[in-house]
Amino acid sequence: MGAMFHPDGPTFMELVQQALTSTEKGYDLIARKFDRTPFRTPDGMLEGMAKVIAEGGPVGSALDVCCGTGAALGMLRPLCRDRVVGVDFSQGMLDEAGRRLANAPGTARVELLRKNAFALDFDRAFDVVTSVGAFGHVEPKDEAPFLEGIFRALVPGGRFVFVTSEPPRWNTPAFWMAHGFNGVMRARNSVLKPAFIMYYLTFLWPEVRGLLERHGFRVEARRNVLPAPFQRGIVVVATRPV
């Protein structure tokens, strides 16, 4: 079977192989082809996020959690004065990010660090934290360490900015595809170790609001700020109170 999404993208068999290893090794395997999959966050979505971030005032430094090949880092760099940091646990993805960001617009220093998103060790270091295309990798048991690490990484008044949506209705193909995929992944993870953690329907609005508030954030939802075809997306701005 040939390439799935793009002539130079991963084949169906390569994606199956990815899902049969582990989350970290799976991304190492497809890193070189990742930008030619629909899993790389699209530029239109990033442009909408950039507008919301810029409206909130000047940014000294920003962190992107689960940065992958650097999609959000390329958007953040021109918005930042000092420093842009990307963390990911796949060295293969970080290497790709390094290559792609070498000539990215902006003057802020770019740092790429290999870290687990559930064990972040930054303290009041960033004005903005983003995470895109990654919440499917956060199981309920990891939500607390994930959000606590992000909260701690922000300066008081700093913002965690991400895109989500409302859950699909039960009578749409998206609903059944997402639940079907999640069922397959749960079955895979109950018989095969190490696990490959990737589930749809995570961090959805409005449930994510309560989750963020329980972790101390003040939460605002921005609608109608993303261009087509992402108009239904919601940009969430979760602020660490001063």
Ligand X SMILES: C[S@@+](CC[C@H](N)C(=O)[O-])C[C@H]1O[C@@H](n2cnc3c(N)ncnc32)[C@H](O)[C@@H]1O
Q: List residues binding ligand X (CB under 6 A).
A: 23, 27, 39-41, 66-68, 71-72, 88-90, 93, 116-118, 132-134, 137
> Measured from the CB of residue 114, what is the shortest distance to ligand X in angstroms?
8
**Secondary structure class of 190 (helix, strand, coil):** helix
Pick between residue 137 and residue 240 the one whose CB is nearest to ligand X. 137
Pick between residue 118 and residue 217 the one whose CB is nearest to ligand X. 118
210, containing H or E segment = helix 207-214
Q: Cβ contacts of residue 82 below 8 Å, gap of 6+?
A: 60, 61, 108, 109
CA 24/CA 18 separation, integer angstroms: 9
Pick between residue 117 and residue 161 the one whose CB is nearest to ligand X. 117
Pick between residue 43 and residue 213 the one whose CB is nearest to ligand X. 43
Whether cis (ω within 30° of 0) applies to the bond prior to 241 is no
> Measured from the CB of residue 214, what is the shortest distance to ligand X in angstroms?
21
Token pair belonging to 48: 């909408």
CA 186/CA 222 separation, integer angstroms: 32
Pick between residue 189 and residue 218 the one whose CB is nearest to ligand X. 189
Distance of CA 25 to the CA centre of its chain: 18
> Measured from the CB of residue 171, what is the shortest distance to ligand X in angstroms?
28
**What letter represents residue 3's amino acid?**
A
Pick between residue 11 and residue 116 the one whose CB is nearest to ligand X. 116
- Residue 87, phi-psi category: left (phi > 0), alpha (psi -120 to 50), beta (remainder): beta
CA 204/CA 25 separation, integer angstroms: 27
> Measured from the CB of residue 41, what is the shortest distance to ligand X in angstroms?
3
State which residue has the least CB distance to ligand X.
68
Pick between residue 52 and residue 169 the one whose CB is nearest to ligand X. 52
> Measured from the CB of residue 45, what is the shortest distance to ligand X in angstroms?
9
> Measured from the CB of residue 44, what is the shortest distance to ligand X in angstroms?
13
Backbone angles phi, psi at 151, to 5 degrees: -60, -50
> Measured from the CB of residue 88, what is the shortest distance to ligand X in angstroms?
4
For the beta sheet containing 109-114, the strands, ordered from the edge strand earlier in sequence to the opposite edge, are: 109-114, 80-88, 59-65, 126-130, 154-164, 234-239, 218-222
